[in-house]
Amino acid sequence: MKYPLTVIILLFSFAIFAQKPCEYATNVVDSIGSYKSTKDYIVHERNFAGNEAYMFFNLLKVDDMPLLNLQYIQKSADMIKVNCLDANSRVYLQLQNGQIITLIHTNDESCGTMVRVPEENKYTRVITGNFMFMKGSIEALKASPVTLMRVKFSTEILDFVFKKELTSEMSKQTYQPEKYFIDYLQCVD
């Protein structure tokens, strides 16, 4: 009888310590409502032949509704193709267990912002969008790592392979993109 109790306590302690602590960039409650935003987290980075691309996630909780905020930044010496998010945009997440999770864009049309940075002699395009979780998707995302993400823009579809570990050339920090939702969904759930 003592052995099963020890195993249960051990498994419970692993479950508690497996999740990352919640760090919020914003946490506001006022008479209008509540808003929480986790810190930005790099899930994709590519630097090749003078072209750079970064994908950041952060989780939002707006009046008890959890959302995924996606920010895609591209830098290039050449003009950057326009990708827009609209009401038909989706994020598809393929989990390690084979399940596909769909997140729906919140209908705010956005084609991003492009600026020319003279010091770098590069164009920079930033596109940001919020995506809603479908019923049952949060539980699935907490249970299995993400291996692939497909973003359906209004003009094209882009695929991003998630790594187990990513050491960012930009921030010099190490990230675990596959486990992002496992580690941080509890911050807005």
Averaged over successive runs of 10 residues, the pLDDT of the chain (189 residues) comes to 48 51 89 91 93 96 94 92 93 97 91 86 93 95 97 94 94 95 94
Residue 26 to residue 11: CA distance in whole angstroms? 32
Q: What sign results for the dihedral spanned by CA atoms 60, 62, 66, 68?
A: negative
Structure tokens at 37: 């935003």
Q: What was the pLDDT predicted at 4?
A: 54
Q: Which residue, among 56, 15, 48, 34, has the nearest Cα to 182 in the 3D structure? A: 15
Q: Which residue, among 37, 39, 41, 126, has the nearest Cα to 80 in the 3D structure? A: 126
Q: What was the pLDDT predicted at 13?
A: 45
Cβ within 8 Å of residue 63, ≥6 positions away: 33, 34, 35
Q: How many CB atoms lie within 10 A of CB 34?
A: 12
Q: What was the pLDDT predicted at 2?
A: 52
Domain ranges of the chain: 20-187
Q: How far is CA 74 from CA 26, 54, 77, 81, 115, in A?
A: 25, 7, 10, 10, 11
Residue 127 to residue 82: CA distance in whole angstroms? 9
Q: Which residue, among 92, 113, 112, has the nearest Cα to 101 in the 3D structure? A: 92
Q: What was the pLDDT predicted at 165?
A: 96
Q: Helix, strand, or coil here: 89?
A: coil
Q: What was the pLDDT predicted at 14?
A: 45
CB half-sphere exposure, 59, CA atoms < 13 A: 19
